[in-house]
Structure 1
Amino acid sequence: MNARDEESSSGVGALISARGLRKSYGKTEALRGASVDLHAGEILAVTGTSGSGKSTLLHCLSGITRADDGVVTYGKEDLGLLPDQRLSELRRGAFGVVFQFGQLIPELTALDNVALPLLLAGMRRGPAQQKAGEWLERFGARGQAGLRPGEMSGGQSQRVALARALVTEPKAVFADEPTGALDSLAGEQVMTALLHTARDMGTAVLLITHDAQIAAYADREVWLRDGVVHSASADVLAREAVRREG
C-alpha cells in the first residue's frame, strides 16, 4: 500500500472525503456504504456499469444531493450539516460541475453562460464578461461567444460548459460523463482541454465514466459496483471488464 492509499483509507490529507455514503430513491439503493477520497490536484476516475451509483456519488460529493447516511467533508466542513446557502456558495466557487449534455442555459449566449457563476458570486457584469471571454478562448471556443446552445455542436457546447465550470478557478471539478454525448475525436479534444487546464491550475477532477479509454487519462481509478466503491487494481479491472462483456 503506497502513501496515497494509506491516506485514502482514513481520509487524511484529502481535499474531499466521503465515508459510508448511503442514498436511496424509493426502494432503490443507489449507494450502499460508498467511501472515496479526492486529493488536491488529482484526476480520479470513477467507473462502473449503468445503475452502479456513479452519478449519485458525484451528486453527493459535490453537494448537489445530500446522502441519507454517511459523511462528506470538504476541508473541515461536513457537507451534510451545511445550510443550503453555504452549499450553493461552494458550488459557485470551490466546486465546478460538468454534465454529459453540458446543461447550458438555452436562452443565454455562450459568453453569458460562462459569466453566470461570476455574476452570482457578485462580480460586476463588465469584468465577468471579460473573464468569461478569456476562458472561452482558453478552451478554443471564443468564436462561439455570441451563440446560444442550440446553435453550437455538441463539442462546442461542452467546451463552453468546461469554461463555465472552471471560470471561478475552483478547487475541484466534478465531471459526469463529459464526453458521453460526443464522438471519439470530440471527446478526446474535450478531455485533453479539461485535464490540461486542471493540471495547470492544480484543480482536482472527479471524472465519472464508463469508457476505459477516458478513464486512462486519470491518475487513479476506482470502480463502483452495487453502490460500493472498490479499489481499481489492474487485475480487478480486468476481471470487471470480462464480467461486463460476459
Structure 2
Amino acid sequence: MNPRDEQHPTAATALISARGLKKSYGRTEALRGASLDLRPGEILAVTGASGSGKSTLLHCLAGIVRPDAGSVAYGGERLDQAAETRLSALRRGDFGVVFQFGQLIPELTALDNVALPLLLSGTGRRPAEHQAGEWLERFGVRGQADLRPGEMSGGQGQRVALARALVTGPRAVFADEPTGALDSLAGEQVMTALVHAARESATAILLITHDAQIAAYADREVWLRDGAVHAGSDDAAGQEAVRHEG
C-alpha cells in the first residue's frame, strides 16, 4: 500500500501554527518569513536542499529555538513567548523530538532511555519501565532492552529513539532526518514503524527529510527554499492562504 493512501486528516484547525518566522545566525538568514500549519494527526514532510532552514524551522516549532521574528502557536499558546520551563515541560509530554543520530544517552540501556521521559515527568520507575518495554515491543526492539546504544545497530538505535519520543503519548513528534544515517532498508523499516505508531495514537509528525522516498510516507509535503515555505503540488491552495496570512 502506498503510504499516501492511508487515512488523511481532515481537521481544519492547526495543532501548531507558525507565521512569518525569521531566524538568523550571524549574517546567515536561516528563515525568511516561513509560515506553516501542522494539523492534528497528520504526517507533514518538509523537504529542501541542505542549508535551506529545515532544521531551524523544526527547532522553532518544537520550542527548542526562539525565532527572531514571527509567531509559533500551539493550541492558542504562543510558544515563541513562553518561558523555558514551560517549553521544557511541553517537550517532556506534549512533544517528542527525534534527531538524525538518535541522541540516546550512551550510559543508559535502551529500556532506560525510553523510560527516562516518563521518570522526568514523575512516573514511578516500575510503571515507566513497563510502558517503555511496551513501546520497545511496538518498534520491534524489545530484545535490545538491556543493550546500550553502542551495542545496537543504527536502525535499532533509531527505533529506540522513536520509542522514547512516543512513550509519553505526545500530540506531535518532530523528526529531523530520522533515517538520514540509515541504509535504505533500515530507513524504510523505521518509517513504516513510525507511521504505524503515529496512526494508532493519532500523533502528528513533522518530518524533515531530503529523501523523496521518505517524504512519500507523509500525507502532505512542503519544501523550504530561501528560508520560506513553498507548497507541494497537492497542497498549493492551502499554503497560498498561509502565505497571505503570514
Alignment match, 1:208: 208
Does residue 181 of the first structure (1) align with residue 175 of the second (2)?
Answer: no
User: What amino acid sits opposite 1:116 in the alignment?
Assistant: L
Counterpart-to-counterpart distance in 1, 2:81 and 2:180? 33
Question: Which 4+ residue blocks in structure 1 deviate beyond 4 angstroms?
Answer: none
Instruction: Please show how residues 14-163 of structure 1 align to structure 2 within 5 Å.
Output: 14-163=14-163
CA positional deviation for 1:204: 0.3
Q: SS in structure 1 opposite 2:112? A: helix
Alignment match, 1:228: 228
Provide the aligned C-alpha RMSD in A: 1.5
The aligned residue for residue 243 of structure 1 is none
- SS in structure 2 opposite 1:100? coil
| Offset, 1:199 | 0.8
Q: CA deviation at 1:233?
A: 1.1
Q: In structure 2, give the amino acid aligned to 1:114.
A: V
Task: Give the distance between the partners of 2:107 and 2:56, measured in 1 at CA.
Answer: 28
How far apart in 2 are the matches of 1:133 and 1:41? Answer: 24
Give 1:223 deviation, angstroms: 0.2
2:158 maps to amino acid: Q
**What CA distance in whole angstroms lies between the structure 2 residues aligned with 1:43 and 1:71?**
22
Structure 2 counterpart of 1:167: 167
1:198 aligns to what? 198
1:47 CA drift (Å): 0.2
Structure 2 spans left out of the alignment, 5+ residues: 1-7, 237-246
**2:243: which partner in 1?**
none
- Counterpart of 2:244 in structure 1 is none
2: CA distance between counterparts of 1:118 and 1:153? 25
In structure 1, the residue matched to 2:239 is none
* Number of residue pairs the alignment of both structures matches: 227
Q: Hey, what's the Cα distance between the residues in 2 that align with 1:183 and 1:177?
A: 13
Amino acid paired to 1:53:
G
2:103 alignment partner, SS class? coil
2: distance between equivalents of 1:94 and 1:226?
A: 30
Q: Deviations over 1:210-241 (max 9, x none)?
A: 0001101110000000110001116x9xxxxx
| Distance in 2 separating the partners of 1:89 and 1:100 | 23
User: In structure 1, what is the Cα distance between the partners aligned to 2:232 and 2:37?
Assistant: 14
- Report Cα offsets for 1:61-106 as digits up to 9, x if no partner: 0001111110000001100111101000100000001100000000
* Percent identity between the two aligned chains: 78
Amino acid at match of 2:42: E
Task: Please state how far the C-alpha of 1:206 moved relative to its aligned partner.
Answer: 0.4
Amino acid aligned to 1:176: D
DSSP-derived class of the 1:44 partner: strand
Q: CA deviation at 1:13?
A: 0.8
- Match of residue 242 from structure 2: none
Query: What is residue 241 of structure 1 aligned with on the other side?
Result: none
**TM-score normalized with structure 1 length:** 0.90
